[in-house]
């Protein structure tokens, strides 16, 4: 089947984005499409597949996100900004409540981070600090800046559900080999956390600057993960590293966002929603094979604006 999509990115987290309203496909078919379109060795590539869906009142529209392995995530905040922008443009609105897999988020257009950079604000929460909600099966109530028995590391973690599960640890320096090893351990679905989890190593680079590196569930080591950045902002507040209510700059390999957490565990993230090109492609949902990519229009001005913004904001 042939599908139209927009290639987009939020803070370097890149996706094909499909207006799926009115497309009657099964979850298995969408999973196959995600594997085909998000395959880094295929014609498109991405960290996953975004779907703009119809909303259930009071949500103006919805979002679904499938990882590159075909699994469905509860949320994706970098992808949410891009999906929200498309929803705004198609519906002629500037803000909305968006329905997610197991929750909802408030989204709104925001003043540009830099000239030419489309910017969207997302607010999610309250996030849960229940260990059970994060998927830990060891019977503890919560984990705040503490080691987790059974995890193959003695590092102290903070476990939060955004609502997708995150294990966040603050480090002096990010060791990617250590992060990947721990991420792969979690990815195997061990008894301690059978539904897997996103794992983030976070450097605090000043009173209100964080650098986040994430092994994303269903994806692997990624340049950016929006919900991980939100989880890191919340973890910084929960552990007293950054006061609640304080604006935080969150950096990653893909760029940066601005974040803020409050004592009620709500997290606001503002960042880019950059559209790179409009295209269509032939994809077989059953086999996950994508081919015959046709690019209709490139949005090079947006790509250049983001690159310029990175040079100035960083």
pLDDT digits (tens, 9 = 90+) for 166-186: 999 999 999 999 999 999 999
Block residue for tokens 């309250």: 126
- Which pLDDT band, with edges at 50, 70 and 90, does 223 fall under? confident
* CA atoms within a 13 Å half-sphere pointing along the CA-CB vector of 236: 34
Q: How confident is the model at residue 255 (pLDDT cuts 50, 70, 90)?
A: confident
What confidence tier does 73 reach under pLDDT thresholds 50, 70, 90?
A: confident
What is the pLDDT, as a whole number, of residue 134? 97
pLDDT > 70 in the chain, percent? 100
| C-alpha count within 13 angstroms, C-beta hemisphere, residue 267 | 27
What pTM, to 2 d.p., does this model score? 0.86
Name beta bridge partners: 64.
51
Which pLDDT score is estimated for 276? Answer: 98
What pLDDT, on a 0 to 100 scale, did the predictor assign at position 314? 63
Return the pLDDT at 272: 95
User: Is the per-residue pLDDT at 218 higher than 70?
Assistant: yes
pLDDT for position 30: 97
Tens-digit pLDDT profile for residues 86-95: 999 999 999 9
Task: Specify the range with the lowest mean pLDDT, choosing from 74-83, 198-207, 260-269.
Answer: 74-83
CATH number of 131-270: 3.10.310.10
- The reported pLDDT for the residue numbered 311 is 84
> Is residue 313 predicted with pLDDT exceeding 80?
no
Q: Where are the domains of the chain?
A: 2-122+272-313, 131-270
Catalytic residue at 82?
A: no
Asked if the domains 2-122+272-313 and 131-270 are classified in one and the same CATH topology, the answer is yes
- In this prediction, residue 33 has a pLDDT band, given cuts at 50, 70 and 90, of very high
Amino acid 74: pLDDT: 83
pLDDT-derived band of residue 214, with 50, 70 and 90 as boundaries?
Answer: very high
pLDDT per residue as tens digits for the range 260-285: 999 999 999 999 999 999 999 999 99
Residues sharing a CB contact under 8 Å with residue 217, sequence separation 6 or more, in sequence order:
67, 71, 73, 164, 165, 186, 187, 196, 197, 198
pLDDT for res 126: 95
Q: Which of 8, 82, 186, 225 does the annotation list as catalytic?
A: 225
pLDDT greater than 70 at residue 219? yes
Q: Is the confidence at residue 144, as pLDDT, over 80?
A: yes
Return the closest-CA partner of residue 132 out of 144, 141, 124, 123.
141
CA distance 162 to 159: 10
Q: Which of 8, 76, 82, 186 is catalytic?
A: 76
Q: What percent of the chain lies above the pLDDT cut of 90?
A: 87
pLDDT score for 190: 96
Hey, what CATH class is 2-122+272-313 in?
Answer: alpha beta
186 is catalytic: no
Distance separating alpha carbons of residues 105 and 83, to the nearest angstrom: 12
């Amino acid at each position: 089947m042939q599908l139209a999509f927009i290639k987009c990115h939020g803070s370097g987290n890149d996706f094909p984005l499909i207006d799926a309203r009115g497309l009657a496909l099964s979850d298995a078919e969408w999973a196959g499409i995600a594997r085909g379109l998000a395959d880094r060795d295929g014609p498109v590539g991405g960290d996953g597949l975004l779907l703009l869906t119809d909303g259930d009142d009071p949500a103006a529209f919805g979002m679904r996100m499938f990882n590159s392995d075909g699994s469905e995530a509860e949320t994706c905040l970098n992808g949410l900004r891009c999906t929200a922008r498309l929803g705004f443009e198609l519906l002629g609105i500037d803000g909305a409540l968006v329905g997610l897999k197991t929750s909802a988020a408030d989204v709104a257009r925001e003043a540009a981070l830099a000239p030419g950079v489309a910017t969207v604000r997302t607010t999610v929460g309250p996030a849960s600090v229940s260990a059970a909600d994060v998927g830990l099966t060891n019977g503890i109530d919560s984990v705040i800046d503490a080691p987790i028995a059974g995890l193959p590391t003695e590092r102290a973690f903070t476990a939060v559900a955004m609502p997708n599960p995150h294990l966040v640890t603050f480090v002096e320096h990010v060791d990617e080999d250590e992060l990947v090893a721990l991420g792969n351990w979690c990815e195997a679905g061990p008894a301690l956390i059978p539904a897997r989890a996103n794992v983030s190593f976070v450097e605090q680079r000043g009173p209100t600057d964080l650098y986040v590196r994430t092994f994303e569930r269903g994806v692997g080591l990624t340049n950016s993960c929006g919900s991980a950045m939100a989880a890191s902002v919340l973890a910084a507040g929960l552990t007293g590293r950054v006061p609640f209510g304080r604006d935080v700059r969150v950096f990653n390999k893909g760029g940066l966002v601005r974040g803020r957490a409050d004592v009620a565990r709500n997290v606001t993230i503002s960042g880019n929603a950059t559209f790179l090109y409009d295209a269509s492609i032939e994809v077989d949902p059953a086999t996950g094979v994508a081919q015959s990519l046709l690019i209709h229009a490139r949005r090079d001005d947006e790509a250049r604006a983001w690159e310029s913004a990175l040079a100035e904001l960083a």
